[in-house]
Amino acid sequence: MQNSQRTPGVVPGRLDQATYRQNFDDLHAPLDTHEARVAADRCYFCYDAPCTTACPTAIDIPMFIRQIQTGDPDSAARTIFDQNILGGMCARVCPTETLCEEACVRQVAEGNPVEIGQLQRYATDHLMAQDPHPYSRGAPTGCKVAVVGAGPAGLACAHRLAMRGHSVVVFDAREKAGGLNEFGIAAYKAPNSFAAAEVEWLLGIGGIEMRYGQRLGEGLSLEELQEAFDAVFLGMGLAGVNALRVEGEEHAHVRDAVDFIAELRQADDLSVLPVGRDVVVIGGGMTAVDAAIQSKLLGAEHVTMVYRRGRDRLSASTFEQELATAKGVKIVLNAQPVAFNSDDGKTVSSVTFAYTEDGPTGLVASEETFTIKADQVFKAIGQALSGVPGVLETEGGKIVVSDSGRTSIEGVWAGGDCASGGDDLTVTAVANGRDAAEDIHMALTGVTAVAAE
Among 16, 41, 263, 423, binds other proteins (CB under 8 A): 41
DSSP symbols for 158-192: HHHHHHTT-EEEEEESSSSS-THHHHTS-GGGSTT
Q: Are strands 350-359 and 335-341 parallel, antiparallel or unpaired?
A: antiparallel
Among 1, 2, 48, 131, binds other proteins (CB under 8 A): 48
Nearer to other proteins, 35 or 259 (CB): 35
Site string for other proteins, 250-289 (x = CB under 8 A): ----------------------------------------
Rg of the chain taking only CA atoms, in angstroms: 23
Between the CA of residue 392 and those of 189, 406, 439, what are the distances in Å? 35, 11, 19
Phi, then psi, of 383 in degrees rounded to 5: -105, 160
Nearer to other proteins, 42 or 373 (CB): 42
Name the segment binding other proteins (CB under 8 A); options: 30-38, 79-87, 147-155, 404-412: 30-38
Nearer to other proteins, 41 or 357 (CB): 41
Among 8, 22, 33, 44, binds other proteins (CB under 8 A): 44
Nearer to other proteins, 38 or 447 (CB): 38
Q: Are strands 231-234 and 144-148 parallel, antiparallel or unpaired?
A: parallel
Nearer to other proteins, 33 or 221 (CB): 33
Residue 241 makes CB contacts below 8 A (sequence gap 6+) with 256, 258, 379, 381, 382, 383, 384
Query: By CB under 8 A, what part of segment 73-112 binds other proteins?
Result: 105-106, 108-109
Among 50, 204, 217, 397, binds other proteins (CB under 8 A): 50
Between the CA of residue 76 and those of 35, 81, 128, 183, 255, what are the distances in Å? 16, 9, 12, 29, 43
Nearer to other proteins, 44 or 370 (CB): 44
Nearer to other proteins, 69 or 356 (CB): 69
Rounded CA separation 324/447 (Å):
49
Nearer to other proteins, 48 or 344 (CB): 48
CA dihedral 116, 121, 127, 132 (to 10 degrees): 130
Rounded CA separation 166/414 (Å):
17
Does position 58 bind other proteins by CB under 8 A?
no
Among 34, 268, 395, 450, binds other proteins (CB under 8 A): 34
Closest to 335 (Cα-Cα) out of 380, 283, 290: 283
Nearer to other proteins, 106 or 330 (CB): 106
- Report the b/e string of 122-140 with b at 16+ CB within 10 A: bbbbbbbeeeebbbebbee
Among 38, 228, 252, 391, binds other proteins (CB under 8 A): 38
Residues in the chain: 453
Among 1, 6, 18, 47, binds other proteins (CB under 8 A): 47
Task: Output the smallest distance, CB 102 to other proteins, in A.
Answer: 14
Task: Output the smallest distance, CB 69 to other proteins, in A.
Answer: 9
Among 11, 27, 46, 400, binds other proteins (CB under 8 A): 46
Task: Output the smallest distance, CB 383 to other proteins, in A.
Answer: 36
Query: By CB under 8 A, what part of segment 108-147 binds other proteins?
Result: 108-109
Rounded CA separation 158/129 (Å):
22
DSSP symbols for 249-306: TTSBTEEEHHHHHHHHHH-S-GGGS-B-SEEEEE-SSHHHHHHHHHHHHTT-SEEEEE
> Is the Cβ–Cβ distance between 30 and 189 less than 8 Å?
no
Size of residue set near other proteins by CB under 8 A: 16
Name the segment binding other proteins (CB under 8 A); options: 32-40, 292-300, 302-310, 400-408: 32-40
Amino acid at 356: T
Site string for other proteins, 289-328 (x = CB under 8 A): ----------------------------------------
Nearer to other proteins, 52 or 167 (CB): 52
Closest to 194 (Cα-Cα) out of 186, 51, 360: 186
Task: Output the smallest distance, CB 106 to other proteins, in A.
Answer: 7
Residues that bind other proteins (CB under 8 A): 34, 37-38, 41-42, 44-50, 105-106, 108-109
